[in-house]
Every structure is written in structure tokens, then in C-alpha cells.
Amino acid sequence: MDLGFSAAENAHREAVRAFVRDELPSHIRHKVMNGLHLTRDDHLAWQRSLFRRGWGGPSWPKEFGGPGWTPTELYIFEEECAAGGAPRLISFGQRMIAPVLMAFGSKAQQERHLPRIMAAEAWWCQGFSEPGAGSDLASLKTRAENRGDHYLVNGQKTWTTLGQHADWIFCLVRTDPDVKPQRGISMLLIDMKSPGVIVRPIITLDGAHEVNEVWFEDVEVPVGNRVGEENRGWTYAKFLLGHERNNIAGIGIAKRELARVKRVAAAELKNGRPLSADPLFAARLAEVEIDLMALAITNLRVLSADPEQGGGAEASILKIKGSEIQQTLSELLLQAAGPYARPFIGDALEGDLPPVGPAHSAALAAGYLNLRKLSIFGGANEIQKNIIAQKILGL
């Protein structure tokens, strides 16, 4: 693989960089670069800007309204957006359910949902995990009874990220309890405004309302909202999870955070010298930078070999290493800020109160706590190691 970029790819990079510089509102850039909370409107405003530019579905093929970029062009787009302080695209619609609908959805589902995802007219969330069915997802209990023209759904989902904002949720439900667990699961698209859908907040360690539990009490879902065939949901879920795990790698975000660590370390003093001059800190920073460079090359190789980004051992490798690198960077930020990283004032994350100490310290503790999730969601890293052992080593 040629590790250099072509003239056309470099021109694409300049175009993306200029767009982010010119179109991203300064208040959103400030929030992203300093780890402050983003609102629903912040995310939607950026998505609408991308839509107006023709980049509303950056990873989508032209036949579904996307730009039809190569894997390398998409990689460049994501890297430049992250470096410029743009919000990460809400992946539940863009990178998770959209590819499933393109591959397995009906024509009616594609025509109804894909344009609205691209234009930021519908926010999606994911209904997979349940109490007792997280990494062991096949143990899910939420049931859907086929009543002819509709399903009657009852059960509970948990850790539903940003479900409080969502218009729709894609759910795995049990439609046949009498077969092998993986064979009795279907995927349904459920309108969050349906009677019987209840969203309850879960406040996490960083003080944020990011995740929720979602209850379904006799929720009626039209049969036309089932993706693909009944009891084939496990197949569609595996396809979807491959996209999620690739996306979790977050190369561009990790590069941005690496630069942030270097800025903070250069500003903080230890024994009268910048912390970046400390040999032990510098060695640890160099180690994670090398790991990130290797991960970036691996990601490009995977995308070049598998443009569809389907699930497999490669996706698990990206998920494991990407999450570990992002967690390590959050730890280095805490170390670089020293005692100023310890205080945690929720209002400072909203920009309503000044932080304790330097401005760059405001969100560090909350960011560290929040990123503990990376090695769990999308399939715990321990599960990913089992997948690698099975698919590569044959164990």
C-alpha cells in the first residue's frame, strides 16, 4: 500500500479543511476543542451544513445521495473535521442503521429514512443492550409478538446513548423464544413518539445525561418497520456492529487529542520546566503517538481492502486499539494538568462558570470518566479479543 496521498487526495484535504474553517460556527469549535458539552442543536447545525455542501452522508455511496468517496477520501474528511474542531457525526443514523437499510431495508424504508438522516431531520438511537444482555447480546429479553399487521413490543433497553434526543430507535427484539437465541431475533424501527415508549435518564460519573433506559409497554410497531426477514435480526446486527467498531477507532479524534495533550503539557510546569520536557512523560507520550500512527495505517489498510467496512477480526482490532489509545490520551491530559484536573464543576462544562485553574482543565476529569466506556460499548474489548482468537487464530 502506498502510504502517500495523491495530488487529488491532497486537494480533497484542502477542500475539506477550508469548508470546516469557513462553515463551522466558532462557538461549536470552542466547545469541541475544549471538551465542553455539545447540545442537540449544535450537532444538528453541523449536520445541516454538511448536507447543504452535499456531504450529508460522507460514507454513503452516490446511489443513496452520498458523495461516493473512496475509503481514503473518507478518512481524510474525518481527520480534517476532527482537527478543525467539528463535532463527531452522530453515528447511530449515519454509520449504523443507514448501511443496514442500504443493504437489507425495503425500498420504502430507504426512501423514508435515508434522506431524513442525511438532512438532519431525524435523530436515531440504538436499542441493543439490556440489563443482563450487554456483551452477551443474544440473551436479550425484549419481546415482539406478531399480531398480523403490527408487532406488540414489551421490554427494556439500557445505556441508550442520547435517546432523550431521538426521533427513532432501531431495536433488536425477540420474535421466536423457542429456537436458538441468535435465530429468534428481529430488528425493528420504532418511532420514539409511539404510545408506550418511556425514556428515563441515567446520569453518568461525569455528571452528564448521555445515556438512558428505554421502556416499551405494549408498543405497536407496524410490520413494515421490520428490517429484512423475521428472525434474521442477528445477521443484520453483526453487520451493523462492524460499522460501529470501525467508527469507534476514532483516528482523527485521537490525533486532535494528542495535539491537545502536547499543548497542555507545554503549558504546565514541573520543577520550573514544561512537563513535556520530563523524560518519563515524554516517553509515554511518544509511545502512544507511535501506537496511533500504526493504528492509522492499519485503518487505511482495512478500509482499502474492505470498502463496505463489514464486521470481522479487523474491526475488532481497530475497536480495541482505538479505544485504548483514546483512554490513554485522557489519562495523559489529567497528568499534564496536575491538580487542576481534579476539581469537577458541572456548570463549567457548559461554559456557565469559570473552571478551577487554567481554562483547559475544566473538562478533563469529566472527559476521563466518560471515556472509560470506550472499552465496553460496541462490544467489550474482552469480547473483541475472543473474536480475534476465533477468526484469526482459529481457537
386 and 258 inside one domain: yes
Angle value at C-alpha 321, between 44 and 135, nearest 5 degrees = 75
Q: Which residues are catalytic?
A: 244
Average pLDDT in the 270-299 region? 89
Its sign, for the CA torsion 34, 39, 45, 47, is: positive
166 and 56 inside one domain: no
Residue 127: the pLDDT is 97
Average pLDDT in the 66-74 region? 92
Residue in 200, 216, 198, 236 with CA at minimum distance from that of residue 151: 216
150 and 214 inside one domain: yes
CA distance 298 to 288: 15
Residue 289 lies in a domain: yes
227 and 135 inside one domain: yes
CA distance 78 to 58: 9
Q: Of the residues 232, 264, 296, which one is the last residue of a structural domain?
A: 232
75 and 160 inside one domain: no
Average pLDDT in the 203-229 region? 94
Residue 193 lies in a domain: yes
180 and 75 inside one domain: no
CATH number for the domain spanning 287: value is 1.20.140.10
Q: What is the DSSP letter of 156?
A: E
More confident residue, 342 or 261: 261
- pLDDT tens digits, 375-388: 888 778 888 898 88
CA distance 301 to 140: 35
Residue 25 lies in a domain: yes
**Which range of residues forms the domain containing residue 184?**
124-232
Residue 204: the pLDDT is 87
More confident residue, 269 or 128: 128
Instruction: Look over the chain and give the mean of its residue pLDDT values, rounded to a whole number.
Output: 90
Residue 244 lies in a domain: no
CATH number for the domain spanning 202: value is 2.40.110.10
CA distance 323 to 120: 27
264 and 201 inside one domain: no
280 and 387 inside one domain: yes
Residue 72 lies in a domain: yes
Is the pLDDT assigned to residue 9 strictly greater than 60?
A: yes
Residue 110 lies in a domain: no
Q: Of the residues 44, 63, 89, which one is the last residue of a structural domain?
A: 89
Residue 270: the pLDDT is 64
315 and 208 inside one domain: no
222 and 312 inside one domain: no
Residue 112 lies in a domain: no
263 and 380 inside one domain: yes
Domain count, the chain: 3
Residue 351: the pLDDT is 59
b or e along 367-390 (b: 16 or more beta carbons within 10 Å of the residue's beta carbon)?
bbbbbebbbbbbbbbebbeebbee
Residue 103 lies in a domain: no
Average pLDDT in the 324-344 region? 87
- pLDDT tens digits, 11-64: 999 999 999 999 999 999 999 998 888 999 999 999 999 999 999 999 999 999
CA distance 168 to 214: 12
pTM: 0.89
322 and 206 inside one domain: no
- pLDDT tens digits, 54-68: 999 999 999 999 999
